Structure 1
């Protein structure tokens, strides 16, 4: 049974009709502090009842600071669970959500370009969520968590510049994951790639989502654009123009995210990432 007294320990031993048999914190999630749990139904009267493995994705100060809505995450996982692209939802409480643990191989680097863009197009063909990611609103939300010492005149000027230059979408909204990096992909034993961490998923401009995918996986922009345009039946030149408009915004959002993270966790490595992006955006 997980300890309930140690600092940072899981704060419960029972959740949503399950006893928590084992718990271990998961690494790798930057805006998350999630747990892998081994669960057993509370109603089990026999040790013969099988256990299940799930991930606890809590509502926390960090998730709130980054604009994560666990109810929205649960809703989209429920809506798309029959497609087999994502973890299945298990349970939802006021403190967070449980989703099924996906067995498989985590990626240390991006899969092939064709595989990655295929996953991207699968996401864009999913049912469109009822909520939308608005980039200015998201940037302003991050700003609220930036330490006052980091909100210097230079940062304020960068923010004003980007708020004046929000790209206009030439594409209909799609379902967007908004964090389709290789670190959120798992290859299962059947060879298929599954996608985890849907916390930022929302309706949005598919070109922003594609740009974020290019950035997160350090893809060659033109190769990614051409492959995506071919799979979606779009004009590659139009896609390229949209992506080139959004890429600086990807850096801008990432900069604010890292500044917010530096303040939340008092981790100097986050501030270094933020300052590097600030330098990139101002030179």
Structure 2
């Protein structure tokens, strides 16, 4: 950064994809994010000499994001494909260092919306065109496991891993576009009261029942009530959906445990290890 951009702190670029970086501030939260809110200045053109300010989010590609299985190019491709849906930020630019996406104005939720509204939003996500890449839960769990500190790979953890790798639920529904992290913390209430979804880094084609279970877990919803509402929206049998969700919920805890263990090692943050221990105790019990 040049000295004129001191407000950007440690942000490493003074220009991005033809934009001049006027201001940058790091966004809090997110192990695999570490993103930046940018104010950009468009380059003046002959037919529009006045510059325009653009608010955007820089989502970097880094060893940490890759350690969590984040593929920024895939994220960019998906956002470009689904922008017309109105529920996701626009994809603005990408380079080998990361992607630039639209900043969505509104309020990030601090608690889950009504279950019916959330299920309607989830079903809208599942109705989007599915990406060409898919989530393989065994591969994802193995990826996290490889990033765990060796001293954390205890006998109880190894036993739990062995059990889960042998008990992957059958997929009973067609693959759909799945967000895989539709927690309230990734929802923004726009000024027109509509919800927008951010942080599509884990999105992939996948089992909609796993995505439903992850959404229930992330928002601490009543699993049966949420499953019934979703089944009604999608036109599925309520019992079949409820049973599928119950099969996936332990896997949600398993993936969360591995994610926290990986985060504890990659960020050397003991609070993540404590969260991981809590999940391990639950899965052992």
Residue of structure 2 in register with 1:142 after alignment: 144
Shift of 1:280: 0.2
Residue of structure 2 in register with 1:104 after alignment: 106
CA distances 1:134-182 after superposition (whole Å, capped 9, x unpaired): 0000000011110000011111111110000001100000000000000
The 1:181–1:236 alpha-carbon spacing in structure 2 relative to 1, beyond 3 Å, is: same
Shift of 1:5: 10
Which of 211, 214, 217 does residue 215 from structure 1 map onto? 217
Counterpart-to-counterpart distance in 1, 2:254 and 2:239: 24
The answer to whether 1:270 aligns with 2:258 is no
Residue of structure 2 in register with 1:204 after alignment: 206
Shift of 1:60: 1.1
Could you tell me which runs of 5 or more consecutive residues in structure 1 were left unpaired when the two chains were aligned: none
Counterpart-to-counterpart distance in 1, 2:106 and 2:158: 44
Question: Is the Cα contact below 8 Å between 2:264 and 2:270 reproduced in 1?
Answer: yes
Counterpart-to-counterpart distance in 2, 1:254 and 1:146: 13
Question: Is the Cα contact below 8 Å between 2:113 and 2:184 reproduced in 1?
Answer: yes
Shift of 1:15: 1.1
Residue of structure 2 in register with 1:30 after alignment: 31
Counterpart-to-counterpart distance in 2, 1:3 and 1:60: 23
SS at match of 1:98: strand
Query: How many residues in Structure 1 have an aligned counterpart in Structure 2?
Result: 281
Which of 56, 59, 83 does residue 57 from structure 1 map onto? 59
CA distances 1:13-40 after superposition (whole Å, capped 9, x unpaired): 1111111000000012232100000111
SS at match of 2:99: strand
The answer to whether 1:81 aligns with 2:83 is yes
Structure 1 runs, 4 residues or longer, greater than 2 Å off: 1-6, 41-48
TM-score by length of 1: 0.96
SS at match of 2:250: helix
Question: Is the Cα contact below 8 Å between 1:259 and 1:271 reproduced in 2?
Answer: yes
The 1:216–1:5 alpha-carbon spacing in structure 2 relative to 1, beyond 3 Å, is: closer
Counterpart-to-counterpart distance in 2, 1:265 and 1:5: 23
Residue of structure 2 in register with 1:166 after alignment: 168
The 1:72–1:14 alpha-carbon spacing in structure 2 relative to 1, beyond 3 Å, is: same
Residue of structure 2 in register with 1:48 after alignment: 50
Which of 254, 257, 270 does residue 256 from structure 2 map onto? 254
TM-score by length of 2: 0.96
The 1:20–1:196 alpha-carbon spacing in structure 2 relative to 1, beyond 3 Å, is: same
CA distances 1:197-228 after superposition (whole Å, capped 9, x unpaired): 00000000000000000000000011101100
Question: Is the Cα contact below 8 Å between 1:20 and 1:40 reproduced in 2?
Answer: yes
Shift of 1:2: 3.6
Which of 169, 194, 197 does residue 195 from structure 1 map onto? 197
CA distances 1:233-254 after superposition (whole Å, capped 9, x unpaired): 1001000111000000000000
Could you tell me which runs of 5 or more consecutive residues in structure 2 were left unpaired when the two chains were aligned: none
SS at match of 1:127: coil
Counterpart-to-counterpart distance in 1, 2:44 and 2:65: 32
